[in-house]
Amino acid sequence: MAGQAGSGRLEATRETLLQTLARYRQRKGHAITVVFDGWQGGLGAEHREFQSGVEVVYSKRGERADQVIQRLARFYGKDCAVVSSDHEVVNAARAAGAFVIGAPEFRAKLQDRPSRSPNMAFKELDRGEADVVKRSKDKGGNPRKLPKSQRKRNHQLREF
């Protein structure tokens, strides 16, 4: 009985996630794929289906969702974004050229509010606030301008 109750909560949580992702897809127009683990109780082959415009992939028995995500990131490379806070997945996705966003940052995007993570410095012109980037004194250039890598990430994040 306890297994069934846990399974029901898992299904309800997955359904809520899929509904939230479907609303995000409607707002942003991005193709979205979500990968669920099937490694313990899944089918012998990977299973794919669409729910509310979101592609859902269940990994095959013996394969973890992380492995599927890494494979998809290698396949799509710079043409995809990967949402994960798992270091192994993040490193593999970055190596493949994918844009990577952490789960807390993406959760904030889903709720349509800006994330204020410490590594994401940006200037809000409408309120006059600025997060100052610490630079060593021997560095040249404009001290108020974010590094190019950070500006690129901020641009990608706005598009995402």
Q: How many structural domains comprise the chain?
A: 2
pTM over 0.85: no
DSSP state of 126: T
Residues 49 and 128 in one domain: no
Give the pLDDT score at 134.
59
Residues 82 and 42 in one domain: yes
- Report d(CA 20, CA 29) in Å as an integer: 14
Virtual CA dihedral for 146, 111, 93, 96, nearest 10 degrees? Answer: -70
Residues 108 and 124 in one domain: no
Q: What is the pLDDT of residues 52-79, one digit of tens each?
A: 999 999 999 888 999 999 999 999 999 9
Residues 155 and 83 in one domain: no
Residues 66 and 36 in one domain: yes
| Cα-to-chain-centroid distance, residue 45 | 25
Q: What burial class does residue 98 get, using C-beta atoms within 10 Å of its C-beta: 0-12 exposed, 13-18 middle, 19+ buried? A: buried
Residues 42 and 81 in one domain: yes
CATH number of domain containing 66: 3.40.50
Q: What is the domain range of residue 155?
A: 116-160
Name the residue with higher pLDDT: 55 or 46.
55
Residues 127 and 106 in one domain: no
Residues 130 and 105 in one domain: no
Residues 106 and 120 in one domain: no
Residues 71 and 49 in one domain: yes
Long-range contacts of 89-93 (CB under 8 A, 24+ apart): 93/69
Residues 39 and 88 in one domain: yes
